[in-house]
Amino acid sequence: MKGKVGSHFVLNTGAKIPAIGLGTWQSGGELCVEAVKTALLVGYRHIDCAHLYGNEIEVGEALDEAFKGPLSLKREDVFLTSTLYCTMNSLNKIENYVRVSLKNLGVSYLDLYLMHWPETSAFGDATDPPSKSGKGSEYRQFLNRLKKAWKAMEGLVDMGLVRAIGVSNFRVQQIKELLKFAKIVPAVNQVELHPFWRQDELVKFCQLKGIHVSAHTPLGVPTSSPGPSDSGSGGEDEAGTPRISFRRSRSVHGPMLKLSAVAEIADRHKKTPEQVIFNHSISH
């Protein structure tokens, strides 16, 4: 049945973000085009992408067909998120980066633009965290770069290129640092979140600050091995400077869907394990 998928949440900007969206990481070529087209056809209205994924042109192709084809969607019908991956050399080019994404997607604005990781780093894989933790002078440099990057992102809102800005993979301490100088409070913090990595402390903190928590990889990271997660804040060094820890959790993917608790709940309600996990995430 065609129609809107799921409900929505209201951001601190007043905008509505669909509760369920299609992520486009690890999707490319014609497969990406068809995935986005199919998602829009069955009712998805939130597409999450990033220039670093290398497929925004394909996403744009699918959007163009949705806008001009039988679906006759309008730009305002689709919530578009893209992501900035900061590198050491990108801080002065953030406006250019978002303009490239807009051109590739074939739209005049983004509904949401996220800072992919709470650090500027060497170029890497789309989901690779920076390799260095910050402390001492490195930590101060991190704060200076974060401030410069966020100021540039705030400028994108002033220019009308993006409607809202947010962060991704930020922890409580990093958000606290950001809020010390931010003129615009992040609308979203997008983190890995699912029943097996709840991040309750982070979720509660964001909610208190009016920051919507969005779950990426809600079924877990495909390339991660099963096991307990590490969601610590990094602690402090000898001088009392907060450490910025970027260790990713050892999350689960396929195995999570087969675990007896999830499978039993799904069977009891005549649903799939994926539906059970999505429902838990939306309710949480």
Residues annotated as catalytic (active site), given as ranges = 53
Bridge partners for 178 per DSSP: none
The answer to whether 111 and 80 are in contact (CB under 8 A) is yes
Percent of residues in the chain assigned helix, strand, coil, to nearest 5? 40, 15, 45
3-state secondary structure of 85: coil
**Nearest alpha-carbon partner for 37 in 2, 83, 81:** 2
| Tokens standing for residue 224 | 């991660």
Give the list of residues 6+ apart from residue 221 with CB closer than 8 angstroms, or none: 127, 192, 248, 251, 253
| Nearest one of 273, 111, 282, 126 to 213, comparing CA atoms | 282
* Per-position DSSP letters for 165-221, written without gaps between them: EEEES--HHHHHHHHTT-SS--SEEEEE-BTTB--HHHHHHHHHTTPEEEEESTT--
Q: How far apart are CA 103 and CA 52, in angstroms?
A: 14
Q: Residue 84 and residue 42: Cα distance in Å, rounded? A: 28
